[in-house]
Structure 1
Amino acid sequence: MSMLTPPGMGGRYRITGDTYPRMRPPRRRVRLVAVVVASAAVLGAAGWGTSQLIDVFSGDRNPAAGSAADCRLKAAAAPAARVRALPAPGRITVNVYNATRRTGLAKDTADQLRRRGFRIGAVGNAPQKLDKKVKGTGLLLGPAAARDTSLRVLGTQLAGADLRTETGRKGADLDLVIGDAFKGLTRQADADRAVTALTAPVPSASPSATAPAAASAATKKGCAAR
């Protein structure tokens, strides 16, 4: 069998029989592939860094998930709730009258109210226009200015009592007229809770306060999500 030398091999390899040399790819192509892969990695990292810088300086962040400092600032800027201004029992004078056929109710009730901090004025039988004519637990009377203040406070002491105002009534004193269904004052613990509920802060219902209230709620939700 004759021996042949493949072209371009300069006589380095000789083919004999059925055995052929293993051909290696040119090294220049391998270097080119490595350069392309490295360039792609560098460009990708540069693009990611650029997007992060743009995001930071443009302030494009989720407002609902702001930082803890943002949450504290927004909470401090939220409008405070309005608190009802009601007089304390010690500034309310109550006249206690009995409009029933049972005796001693006016004095006993007046003594209980005094122990609860109210000032006590007149104590005795109801005037003729009300005597034997109050069918419920009681009737609370006062001037028009007391409708949403001292009358409300006194109303916590006698559940189910009627609250009425009298036009032209002078002074700030209130009348508690005991009626036929009276079985006693409201338990003091329940009455105290009712007074606390009356003086609890309430949000303003004005249109200008609606938007801040909604914004405050959104801020609290976003901060809680953190």
Structure 2
Amino acid sequence: MGGQYRIRGDKYPRMRRPRRRGRLVVLGTASVAVLGVAGWGTLQLIDVFTGGGNPASAVGTKAACAPKTSPSPSPRALPAPSGITVNVLNATTRSGLAKKTADELKKRGFKIGEVGNATKEYDKKVKGTGVLLGPAAALNTSLPVLGTQLAGAQPRTDAARKGTEVDLIIGDGFTRLTERAAADRALTALNKPEPAPTGKKC
């Protein structure tokens, strides 16, 4: 082209789009606002689940999550070994078991009554370690105490039986009494049962 529109030299005019600074400022402000709201929401959720950093709230949460236990049952009025008279009877074909067992029970504090062979009802008919026999009133008193001395012995009651004496009838599965240390622990647990847990751990 000629005249006043003639291009001279090696430089050409460049066409630039007008800058839209106003729109960029609006977008930047909106982004900051969105990030701020998201951060605030996150902090609120953390406060809800952690108690807001309040020690009292944290303690309350831990207390709520702690396992609950039922009240300790009232101790039963169980007799001491010294208050129980035991008849030791042998229902096996092995001789000497009744006397040996009676001597050991005496060392452990029990009173010893009759020592000898089992009656015809039980003689050679007890396959387990033994039978603990007593009156109905002994089921939750004397028999559990005596049972700590011979694991696996079967407790039985005789409604027609009078008095307070109980029998330890030695069976074919008998080898010896429970070790004294273990028997003492069982007796302690019997007198002081621990409360059973009733809740769930978090």
Settle same-fold status: TM greater than 0.5: yes
Alpha-carbon shift at residue 75 of structure 1 (Å): 4.7
Change (3 A) 1:130 1:89: farther
SS in 1 for 2:149: coil
Counterparts of 1:23-172 in structure 2, within 5 Å, are 23-27=15-19, 29=20, 31-49=21-39, 51-52=41-42, 55=45, 59=48, 61=49, 68-75=58-65, 78-80=68-70, 82=72, 85=75, 87=78, 90=81, 93-100=84-91, 104-115=96-107, 117-126=108-117, 132=123, 134-136=125-127, 137-172=129-164
Q: Quote the Cα distance in structure 2 between the aligned partners of 1:50 and 1:182.
A: 74
Deviations along 1:18-48, one digit per CA (max 9) or x if unpaired, are 6412234434x2x213212222123203422
Deviations along 1:121-148, one digit per CA (max 9) or x if unpaired, are 3142257565746543432112324324
Q: Could you list the runs of 5+ residues in structure 2 that have no partner in the other structure?
A: 51-56
Percent pairwise identity: 40
Q: Quote the Cα distance in structure 1 between the aligned partners of 2:122 and 2:23.
A: 110
CA-atom RMSD in angstroms: 4.2
Q: Quote the Cα distance in structure 2 between the aligned partners of 1:165 and 1:16.
A: 129
Report if the CA contact (8 A) 2:149-2:177 is conserved.
Answer: yes
Report if the CA contact (8 A) 1:99-1:125 is conserved.
Answer: yes
Alpha-carbon shift at residue 50 of structure 1 (Å): 5.2
Change (3 A) 1:112 1:3: farther
Report which of the two has the higher share of helix: 1
Q: Quote the Cα distance in structure 2 between the aligned partners of 1:184 and 1:77.
A: 40
May I ask how many residue pairs the two structures share in their alignment? 193
Aligned-partner residue type, residue 125 of structure 1: G
Q: Quote the Cα distance in structure 1 between the aligned partners of 2:65 and 2:43.
A: 29
